[in-house]
Chain A
Amino acid sequence: MECCGPGYASPAEAIKAPREKLLYTIAIYTGTGIQKPDYLATVDVDPESPTYSQVIHRLEMPGIGDELHHMGWNACSSCFDDGSMSRKYLILPGVRSNNLHIVDTATDPRAPRLHKVIDGAEIKSKTDLSGPHTVHCLGSEIIISFLGDAKGEAPGGYLHLNKDFEIVGRWENSMGDIKFGYDFWYQPRHNVMVSSEWAAPNTFMPGFDLEEVGHLKYGRELHFWDFEKREPIESMYLGEDGLIPLEVKFHHDPDSTHGFCGAALSSNVIHWWKDDAGKWQWEKIIDVENEPHPEWPIPVPGVMSAILVSMDDKYLYLNNWLHGDMRQYDISDPHNPKLTGQVWMGGLLGKAPEVNGVKMAGGPQMFQLSLDGRRLYVTTSLFSTWDNQFYPEIREQGGVMVMIDCDPENGGMTLNPDFIVNFGNEPGGPARCHEMRYPGGDCTSDIWL
């Protein structure tokens, strides 16, 4: 096939891509007490480089108070056949400000530059949306989940941008009976999108009140969409097994119907698939037990805020932000996962208060896996207000990025002793890092048509 668009022809081709040399992560000051803009940090991850394991560039956002969180590319392997497209722009939403920052990472990958800002107020006035989260490209266009309306009430909806980053309008034709929004992933060969539920921005932004879970202010459902009709067609009520279902990931294999969701508060992994009769099914496949803590009246939940599937669809990675462990499961049989690796870093259980000489505040939170499945980069901050509740010492210590060496042949994970980025030492004061992306695409960005 003649082609020169972004990304790779298939997941198997992506695995063979050159090793990542740069990594981008967002770093925040919002909610930390430091009156400076959030920024995009470039981290040198080339072991041959003299600045390996260091922040080598910082791109400040124009305003303060954005709370950068997740980000996404303007184009991915879904445009592989389109020679007019390239993976040039990273889109950085501000959860609190509603601003969308379009960053050019191609002109100088080491020093990204701001290309355009879509003003949060314009998005509110044109589409009645606020609280942006997940960014996916959609062929040559872009959709972004927003968790609330302009006043921060659920369920929000989806913003549709064209490839020139102009507001097209709302992407969805209907939100159906969906109560909340959060993450989404689509699998075009099956005409399906799956979306999950956090809460209304007005509920989660100020912090976590546990009592509000019982009052149904947090989600417990997954939604299956007719992707072409842009409307939800079926909802799965997960109940107590699926409290606060956050990240959703399909297999990378575009023919597969298998997908996974991490239910953060229940600390379970939910697996879904389409059965032989063409019906969507779900089951709980991993249940992380709550752990006793000497100072807690009740056992501590894991708080599984993220999951990731390796590019070969063989391993699922998950975090337990409050316990402090990262886990690797072999999901070759997605109905019967096998625990094959575990690493401790920070957390409330005191298993690893220090990593590579750095005192940890927080626990494993966001992570990104190299395309070849051998290096897992992990950061420690979740969301400013939630950090402040569970790990108040993060204000003085800042966030940390570590690297875990993974064995894709035999399974297993070990902390890499030579890599650590301490965002507590940032020149502007202790910052907190969250989601990460590589310039060449990564294990959470690309979808194949």
Chain B
Amino acid sequence: MTIYNVTIANRDNAVYEVDARRPLLDSLRDQGVDLPYGCKYGGCITCAAKLTDGQVDQRRQVALNNRQIANGYVILCVARATSDITLEIGVESHGQLYRNPFLDPLKPHELKADLATPKDH
């Protein structure tokens, strides 16, 4: 079993060990970390957290657009650690997650993966 360390930056840098095969939401909640969640299939964004260091596999998520991914957001209910990682969790980490869509439109490469076009160079 592959184990990685998850550091929660905005919880006094508490460190938890997680199984690389399990979604981070399940592993962390099992260890008593209080995390928001909703759909549990990667579609609703409620459990989003900000990854500030390390890598995850979140290929199953369908909630984030490419700008949110570029800003470091990960969907904990489907994301799995592929290295030691550092997260900011909860609504305090959601500063860049929500934006007024009329004031701050997405560029074509910033849409969700199924709609995005490659960035112009």
Given known contacts A211-B111, A295-B103, A388 and B94 CB-to-CB distance under 8 angstroms? yes
A104 to chain B, nearest CB (A): 26
Asked whether any CB of chain B lies closer than 8 Å to the CB of A408, the reply is no
Whether A205 pairs with B100 at a CB distance below 8 angstroms is: no
Provide the residues of chain A in CB contact with B115, threshold 8 Å: 211-212, 215, 217
Cβ-neighbour of A97 out of B39, B90, B102 (below 8 A): B39
Interface majority SS (helix, strand, loop, mixed), chain A: loop
Q: Indicate whether B62 reaches chain A with its CB closer than 8 angstroms.
A: yes
| Chain A nearest Cβ from B65, distance in angstroms | 6
Please determine whether A296 and B102 come into contact, CB atoms closer than 8 angstroms: yes
Produce 1/0 per residue, B87-121, CB < 8 A to A: 00011101001111111011010011001000000
How far apart sit A205 and B65, CA to CA, in the bound complex (Å)?
Answer: 12
Residue in contact with B43 in the complex, picked from A201, A215, A217, A298, CB distance below 8 Å: A201
Q: Is B4 positioned at the interface, with any CB of A under 8 Å from its CB?
A: no
Query: Least Cβ distance of B106 to chain A in Å?
Result: 5
Q: How far is the CA of A249 from the CA of B43 in the complex (A)?
A: 29
Whether A96 and B38, one on each chain, are in contact in the complex, defined by CB atoms closer than 8 angstroms, is yes
Q: Evaluate contact between A389 and B99: CB separation under 8 angstroms.
A: yes
Q: Say yes or no: A65-B46 contact (C-beta < 8 A), given A212-B111, A388-B94, A389-B98.
A: yes
In the complex, what distance in Å separates the CA atom of A66 from the CA atom of B38? 6
Partner of B112, one of A64, A209, A390: A209
Question: Using an 8 Å CB-CB cutoff, how does the interface string of A202-214 with B read, 1 for contact, 0 for none?
Answer: 1001111111100
9 contacts between A and B (CB under 8 A): A30-B38, A98-B39, A152-B43, A152-B62, A202-B43, A205-B44, A215-B111, A295-B103, A300-B102
Interface residues of A (CB under 8 A from B): 30-33, 35, 64-67, 96-98, 130, 150-152, 201-202, 205-212, 215, 217, 295-298, 300, 384-385, 388-390, 392, 395
A-B interface, 10 closest residue pairs, ranked by CB to CB distance from nearest: A33-B91, A96-B38, A206-B45, A152-B43, A206-B63, A205-B44, A210-B101, A202-B43, A388-B98, A65-B38
Give the interface of B toward A (CB within 8 A): 34, 36-41, 43-46, 62-65, 90-92, 94, 97-103, 105-106, 108, 111-112, 115
